[in-house]
Chains A and B, each alone.
Chain A
Amino acid sequence: MNKITNHDQLLQLEHPFVKIPLEKFKSSLKVSQKHIEKEISTLTNTVSDISKKSQQGDMNPAEVEKALEAIVHRLSNLKRRLKDTRAEESLYSQRTKVRLQHLQEFTTIPTLDSDGFGRWSRVRLNRILVDYMLREGFRETAALLAKSEGIEEMVDIELFVQSRKVEQALQRFSCTECLQWCHENKSNLKKIKSTLEFSLREQEFIELVRKRQTQEAIAYARKHLIVWQETHMREIKKVMGLLAFPPSTNCQPYKGLYDASRWKKLIARFRADNFALQCFTPEPILNVTLQAGLSALKTPMCYIDEHRNVNCPVCDGETLGALATDLPLSHHLNSTIVCRISGQIMNEDNLPMVLPNGYVYSYNALMEMASMNNGKATCPRTGAVYDISQIKKVFIS
């Protein structure tokens, strides 16, 4: 029995899983709050205004009626506007709930060998696979998998729709969509000290210079770069220097500023900022967990043909083994001896026995072999045949 003793530690890995819809819920509440506050303060003002005017005789009852009708109209408008954010609130609130319940279910699983653990882990694998696919742009499969496994509320398909548009625009060398996104998330970007907007402005400036539209470029810099002078004066000076060099220049750093690879960097920075804002981990959870798992399993033997084990993921040199080459090896403080006949672990219940040729196998495997072969055991690695009476206990501490 492999008891799970660290439920809470394992749940730490699921922090982003709950945090993502929770933050969406919070920010959408903030939006409706803002709308309501604004509308209510105008409402109270208008009502007292009407009341004053009618008292002073500046408004007759019919006019009052009309004014009240206008208020009703405004309120209904607000109600309509709130409908969307309310729907969003209820969507993300529901998701948070479902996810919390999924995690609670985990705390009721006692052991790693139970069926419940297998089921839960498979759901988890599927949802982190959907996350991976969304990040890598495999949207169709992601949606198909989420639907067929019934885990739509545990994945965030729609959160990738907008970011996808921005990324595609950047791939087309257009900053407009990304700048718009920066504008929408201005206060949050400030919180994480993002300088993405400056880099975008810089890029638009570079593009103007590339087209040799010098006047426009200078006007653009006056309007959009100079606002960053307090923090980014050095960069501004550098990029302004570009005006003196044609796009064909070989002089650094100007050659680098003209380079198209800057667009790739912009995409990467947008992704990083977008993930940070929405509480996504910078790298897919799949990669994080897979790296940990491969490291924990990786031994020097995985890469030596005669020691390969088909059941070991790292021993497959064509997939996971190749993926694990740059990862650290597992660390061991104690010996583990695995029987090469039965695959079982040798311990006090299944003692390690040594054949006269020095090869070690488990007691159970050798005895079973001997019972079917008239008391003879064959060493599967050397082909040597011995009588079972020749085996000897070996002590591994």
Chain B
Amino acid sequence: MNAFVDDYEKISKRQRTLETNDPLDRLIALVNTAKDKIHDDPNSVQTALTGLGKMVKSVSSSIQDDHKELQSSLSKFTKALDKKYSCDMMAAMNPRAFDNKEKLLQKTIALHFIRQGNFTIGDAFAKEAGLDVPDELRHQFMDMFDIVAAMKTDDLEPALQWAKLHRPELEKRGSSLEFKLHRQRFLQLLKQKKDKLAIEYAQTHFGYFGFRHTAEISRLMCSVLFMGRLMTSPYADLLTPGTAADIQHMFTRDFCSLIGLSCESPLYLSVTVGTQALPAMIKMASIMKAKKAEWSQESEMAVESNLTDDTKFHSIFVCPVSKEQATDDNPPMMMVCGHVICKESLQKLCRGSQNLRFKCPYCPQESMASQAKNVYF
């Protein structure tokens, strides 16, 4: 890509010279000079005209050359770009799959903007597309973005109030958001060198969390000793600039989870995953096309997409023996040794008999099908 950017820079320079230093001006100037010369001295008509004829010829051929050069370098550039980057994106899609589902897609888009805190665009889009956006959701996200905005200015109070209000739900989810917020406030005070206030703050607020966060609290209290030179102390990690952003992320995640929504916009997530998945899908589609083989697109994709861990949401068990995905009729079974295979594979290994001893395909241990147990992921 760097080479393309550099090449293009040359082209755009040429274009700019054409624009600012218009060769037509040169032609006009030439004709004007000849005209003035004839006006001043009518006898010089012949010499002026021959001179003009020559000049016009040379200038106009240089204009045409400039133009042609620009055009040819541009078409060369386009060809190189096409060669390196063109691909048949449409081969990887089913143009009918979203038929009559425009409204669903538009609703997803409107919700996306609201989830991003972009209420102006969300409302404009909903209006233009004729959609109803649930008011409740809108208000919830407005609250959330108000709190986040406050956090960005180091004001943790609204977030703390929210966390305290939802303490039981948060604790049920194993979230330590409330403690993390108090911790952050404590560190803020310490950074401002208000050790007395910090200790007072700890006395009022840390008590409740003593049971769950003992180690962290003693660490925090000890850091008071190094106030003013924390950066060179064993407690330098407490001041890393990322913590404020982390806690904001934690807050939005918990907030969304409490109202039963994902922490990332589903549209953003799907499109980002799609971008990662597309190149392999396009390649597969073009190979299929070249071989004139048809992949029954109906049920399953032809290639595996390498999802990152944070975009894997469901357990998928692929039987290591048959390479088939487990289903309700063919569930995963654990043998006595702890290895898991699918029921059908198990039936084959024991040759249909419940009490025949057979060796596990992955370890030396022998067991019987009757001893195998269903497992649930």
Contact = CB atoms under 8 A, between A and B. Distances in A.
Do the two chains bind? yes
Interface of A: 2, 6-15, 18-19, 22-23, 25-26, 29-30, 32-33, 36-37, 40, 43-44, 47-48, 50-51, 54-55, 61-62, 64-65, 68-69, 71-72, 75-76, 78-79, 82, 86, 89-90, 93-94, 96-97, 100-101, 103-104, 106-107, 112, 121-122, 124-125, 128-129, 132-133, 136, 138, 140-141, 144-145, 148, 281-283, 285-297, 299-302, 307, 309-316, 318-320, 322-323, 326-338, 340, 343, 345, 354, 358-360, 368, 372, 381, 392-397
Contacts of B304: 330-334
A293 B274 contact: yes
Interface of chain B, helix or strand or loop or mixed?
Answer: helix
A90 B35 CA distance: 33
Contacts of A82: 22, 24
A311 B316 contact: no
B322 to A, nearest CB: 12
A12 B279 contact: yes
Contacts, number: 383
A299 B260 CA distance: 20
Contacts of B187: none
B39 A65 contact: yes
Contacts of B193: none
A301 B263 contact: no
Interface string B79-98: 00110111101101111111
A14 to B, nearest CB: 7
Top 3 A-B pairs, shortest CB-CB distance: A293-B274, A313-B266, A312-B313
User: Which residue, A48, A93, A293, A337, has most C-beta atoms of chain B within 10 A?
Assistant: A293
A304 B277 CA distance: 24
30 contacts: A13-B279, A26-B74, A29-B67, A44-B56, A61-B38, A78-B24, A96-B8, A96-B12, A97-B12, A100-B4, A106-B1, A107-B1, A133-B125, A136-B106, A138-B128, A283-B93, A289-B271, A295-B277, A295-B305, A297-B311, A301-B315, A326-B94, A327-B97, A329-B301, A332-B304, A343-B313, A358-B374, A360-B375, A393-B338, A395-B340
Contacts of A122: 268
B107 to A, nearest CB: 6
B349 interface: no
A90 B121 CA distance: 30
Nearest to A132: B109
A89 B19 CA distance: 9
B46 interface: yes
A294 B270 contact: yes
Instruction: Say what secondary structure dominates the interface of chain A.
Output: helix
B98 A287 contact: yes
Given A141-B128, A288-B278, A334-B318, A36 B63 contact: yes
Interface in B169-225: 174, 212
Contacts of B75: 26
A140 B260 CA distance: 32
Interface in B98-119: 98, 101-102, 104-109, 111, 118
Given A310-B257, A331-B304, A394-B334, A136 B85 contact: no
Interface residues of B, number: 133
B15 interface: yes
Contact of A290 (B31, B87, B274, B318): B274
Given A15-B85, A64-B45, A311 B264 contact: yes
Contacts of B262: 310-313
B313 A311 contact: yes
Interface stretch (B146-154, B157-165, B292-300, B350-358): B292-300
A54 B25 CA distance: 26
* Residue picked from A43, A319, A343, A368, most chain B C-beta under 10 Å: A319
Nearest to A297: B273
A307 B314 contact: yes
A333 B71 contact: no
B12 to A, nearest CB: 5
B97 A291 contact: yes
B359 interface: no
B320 interface: yes
Contacts of A13: 87, 89, 275, 278-279
B233 interface: no
B377 A337 contact: yes
B373 A358 contact: yes
Interface string B245-281: 0000000000001001111101111111111111101
Given A12-B86, A141-B129, 15 more contacts: A51-B49, A61-B38, A62-B42, A65-B38, A75-B28, A79-B25, A86-B19, A93-B11, A103-B1, A295-B281, A312-B314, A330-B305, A336-B314, A338-B314, A354-B334
A44 B340 contact: no
B301 A296 contact: yes
Interface string B303-332: 111011101111111101001010100000
Of A12, A128, A314, chain B has the most CB atoms within 10 Å of the CB of: A12
Contacts of B271: 121, 125, 128, 286, 289-290, 293
A269 B74 CA distance: 30
Contact of B87 (A15, A32, A68, A340): A15
Which of B31, B53, B56, B70: most chain A CB closer than 10 A?
A: B31
B269 to A, nearest CB: 5
A296 B8 contact: no
B53 A47 contact: yes
